Amino acid sequence: MEDILGWLTKYSPPVLLLVLLGGAFIFVSKQVTENAISAQFEQYRKEVELRLQRRSNFEERVLLDRYVLLRDIHTKLGGVMTDLNRVKSGTTVKGLLHNGDLVPLTEVFELIEANRYLITERFRTILSSQGQLEIQYANTQDAKVIEKILSDYVELEGKFDQAMNEVFGLDRITWDMTPIKH
């Protein structure tokens, strides 16, 4: 305040008015610029947040689709192996073999290949290997070869379970039934 009174005695009123107008202009310009930058930054932040939310929703959907597809393919492979065991035991399974082709296994291989990007190479390798073992199992009568095939199949089952737990964290999901204390 003393500075302004000192300027009044030193400078003429028009010069002082011009200096005050210049100061006001600088102050207003600074505020407008800060507000414009702040608004642009806020808009950018909202756009990034929206993109991240969309990506998060997409990744959640991919994981759910992957889980359902892997579970379905694995279940179909298990069904084929069960039917092959029935055939080995002397039971006739309708629709399993047609002209030497394991009909349900063909569908499984088609699913694996059609969805190879969704299921990832790790699962593709495990599931395809299980399917190949089922073909070998269907085409052999040698007890030692069958024993080796079944051992390899069980090993792949373990790898599948491990991969499912690593990818989806199924073994970490629990239902806490601890009563709530009041």
Per residue in 73-95, pLDDT (tens digit) is: 999 999 999 999 999 898 988 98
Query: For position 52, what pLDDT does the model report?
Result: 64
pLDDT in tens, 123-182: 999 999 999 999 999 999 999 999 999 999 999 999 999 999 999 887 887 777 677 776
Q: How far lies 66's CA from each of 47, 129, 174, in Å?
A: 28, 19, 21
Give the best-scoring range by mean pLDDT among 3-7, 43-47, 145-149: 145-149
pLDDT greater than 70 at residue 8: no
Instruction: Give the start-to-end residue ranges of the domains of the chain.
Output: 64-171
Which of residues 138 and 57 earns the better pLDDT score?
A: 138
Q: How far lies 161's CA from each of 114, 132, 167, in Å?
A: 22, 18, 10
Query: For position 71, what pLDDT does the model report?
Result: 96
Query: For position 100, what pLDDT does the model report?
Result: 77
On whether the CB atoms of residues 163 and 130 are closer than 8 A, the answer is no
Q: How many of the other CB atoms lie within 10 Å of CB of 118? A: 13
Indicate the pTM of the whole model. Answer: 0.69
Query: For position 106, what pLDDT does the model report?
Result: 92
Name the token pair of 23: 């100061």
pLDDT bin (cut points 50, 70, 90) of residue 4 is low
